[in-house]
């Protein structure tokens, strides 16, 4: 006899984990299928852990604030205490983009976020950065999460509420009569009312192979570097992101986690660190944080950030294949927003919220509009 669930979620990254949790707590029977032998092997386990409430895109900003609040004060069934450390954050903006970030900060303040604004030059002494021009937006309640802890919490809570998780289970969509009726796994077919496509960079090829929406998802590789322990780095120092110059750093295990904000197109893949990535970082460190230049890098790694052509998330029912629900394209925001994405998506999928609530993210927009680029962060 075929196994049957209300929902099969493809992918045990942050998107899939959050959907599984949000659906299971609504009483839906859920099976998560993950190709890898464990959860969070790709972007969801390789990200920088920054929790950030000021965003240039208003649609992402809303989900970021809801997602950050959920991590700060998770519901009982998700975690007993906060899922991130409130270290505060500092975004530095200048030049032509300053007006965008002034507006984004004003939007955050309007939404109730505490934001302090001041000259970036005042930061230098306590930050490890060279004194710099521009405006600093400090958000004291932002912070740093452990992505594995967040993903584990979603999956553990989903399981505790009846969901099942299968690893080493590469899935293909099973389509009959023009609708998705479940998935095909190496172990056999599984039927479902809905299949949630949370396959990250592989989400588009999963659907295109099955004759569904041809979505031009694009993945970009980004590297992170850990200095190893250094004297004088406070674990509670705020993370700092120079938006115009494309560089951020945050305390990590008694040292610094550094990023040069590289953005290199790659195919969907188990992406590895490039041998020359350190050179790009070194140039930025030299210019922006010269005190760190002489310290060797202890470890580096890379992950893929996946974007739709217009940079907005892709969440909602497929416009051509009934039974299929997209949950991908979370770009560089999938940790902060995951809980909010899962809760909103699960409400719409369960019929308790209208599709209009997902309007900015509706996959159907790619059938009707030529998507412009403009919301990539």
Ligand X SMILES: Cc1cc2nc3c(=O)[nH]c(=O)nc-3n(C[C@H](O)[C@H](O)[C@H](O)COP(=O)(O)OP(=O)(O)OC[C@H]3O[C@@H](n4cnc5c(N)ncnc54)[C@H](O)[C@@H]3O)c2cc1C
**Helix, strand or coil, per DSSP, at residue 373:** coil
- Number of residues forming the site for ligand X (CB under 6 A): 41
Is 49 a binding residue for ligand X by CB under 6 A? The answer is: yes
Q: To the nearest whole angstrom, how small is the minimum distance from the Cβ of residue 42 to ligand X?
A: 4
Is 32 a binding residue for ligand X by CB under 6 A? The answer is: no
Q: To the nearest whole angstrom, how small is the minimum distance from the Cβ of residue 182 to ligand X?
A: 13
- Which part of the chain contacts ligand X (CB under 6 A), choosing from 10-18, 228-236, 278-286, 341-349? 10-18
Nearest to 198 by CA among 4, 342, 48, 366: 342
Subset of 117-176 contacting ligand X (CB under 6 A) = 170-171
- Which part of the chain contacts ligand X (CB under 6 A), choosing from 47-55, 155-163, 228-236, 354-362? 47-55
Q: How far apart are CA 151 and CA 11, in angstroms?
A: 12
Nearest to 42 by CA among 330, 346, 326: 330
Q: To the nearest whole angstrom, how small is the minimum distance from the Cβ of residue 376 to ligand X?
A: 12
Q: How far apart are CA 148 and CA 122, in angstroms?
A: 34
Q: To the nearest whole angstrom, how small is the minimum distance from the Cβ of residue 55 to ligand X?
A: 10
Per-residue buried b or exposed e for 154-186, using 16+ beta carbons within 10 Å of the residue's own CB: bbbbbbebebbbeeebbbebbbeeeebbbbebe
Q: To the nearest whole angstrom, how small is the minimum distance from the Cβ of residue 334 to ligand X?
A: 2
Return the number of the residue (99 or 157) whose C-beta is nearest ligand X: 157
Subset of 65-124 contacting ligand X (CB under 6 A) = none
Q: To the nearest whole angstrom, how small is the minimum distance from the Cβ of residue 269 to ligand X?
A: 11
Q: CA-based angle 322:268:60, to the nearest 5?
A: 65
Residue ranges with strand state E in 297-375: 299-307, 314-317, 324-328
Is 115:139 a contact under the CB 8 Å cutoff? yes
Return the number of the residue (24 or 125) whose C-beta is nearest ligand X: 24
Residues binding ligand X (CB under 6 A): 10-16, 33-36, 41-44, 46-50, 170-171, 198-202, 206, 222, 224, 303-305, 328, 330-336
């Amino acid at each position: 006899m075929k196994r049957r669930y209300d929902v099969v979620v493809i992918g045990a990254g942050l998107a899939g984990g959050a959907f599984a949790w949000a659906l299971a707590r609504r009483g839906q029977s859920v099976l998560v299928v993950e190709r890898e032998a464990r959860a969070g092997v790709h972007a969801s386990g390789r990200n920088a852990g920054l929790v950030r409430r000021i965003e240039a895109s208003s649609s992402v900003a809303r989900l970021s604030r809801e997602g950050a609040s959920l991590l700060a004060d998770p519901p009982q069934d998700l975690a007993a205490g906060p899922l991130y450390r409130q270290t505060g954050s500092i975004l530095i903006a200048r030049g032509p983009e300053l007006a965008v970030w002034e507006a984004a900060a004003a939007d955050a303040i309007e939404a109730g976020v505490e934001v302090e604004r001041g000259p970036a030059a005042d930061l230098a002494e306590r930050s490890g950065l060279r004194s710099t021009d521009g405006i600093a937006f400090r958000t004291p309640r932002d912070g740093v999460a452990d992505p594995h802890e967040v993903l584990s919490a979603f999956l553990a809570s989903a399981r505790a509420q009846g969901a099942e998780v299968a690893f080493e289970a590469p899935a293909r969509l099973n389509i009959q009569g023009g609708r998705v009726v479940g998935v095909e796994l190496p172990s056999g077919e599984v039927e479902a009312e809905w299949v949630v496509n949370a396959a990250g960079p592989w989400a588009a090829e999963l659907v295109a192979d099955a004759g569904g929406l041809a979505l031009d998802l694009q993945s970009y590789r980004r590297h992170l570097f850990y200095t190893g322990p250094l004297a004088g780095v406070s674990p509670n120092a705020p993370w700092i992101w120079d938006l115009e110059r494309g560089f951020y750093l945050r305390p990590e295990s008694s040292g610094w986690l550094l990023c040069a904000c590289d953005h290199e197109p790659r195919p969907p893949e188990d992406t590895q660190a490039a041998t020359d990535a350190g050179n790009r970082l070194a140039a930025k460190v030299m210019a922006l944080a010269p005190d760190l230049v002489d310290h060797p890098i202890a470890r580096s790694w890379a992950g893929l950030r996946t974007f739709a052509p217009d940079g907005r998330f892709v969440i909602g029912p497929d416009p051509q294949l009934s039974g299929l629900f997209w949950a991908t394209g979370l770009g560089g925001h999938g940790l902060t927003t995951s809980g909010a994405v899962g809760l909103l998506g699960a409400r719409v999928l369960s019929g308790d919220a209208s599709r209009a609530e997902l309007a900015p993210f509706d996959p159907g927009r790619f059938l009707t509009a030529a998507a412009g680029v403009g919301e990539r962060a």
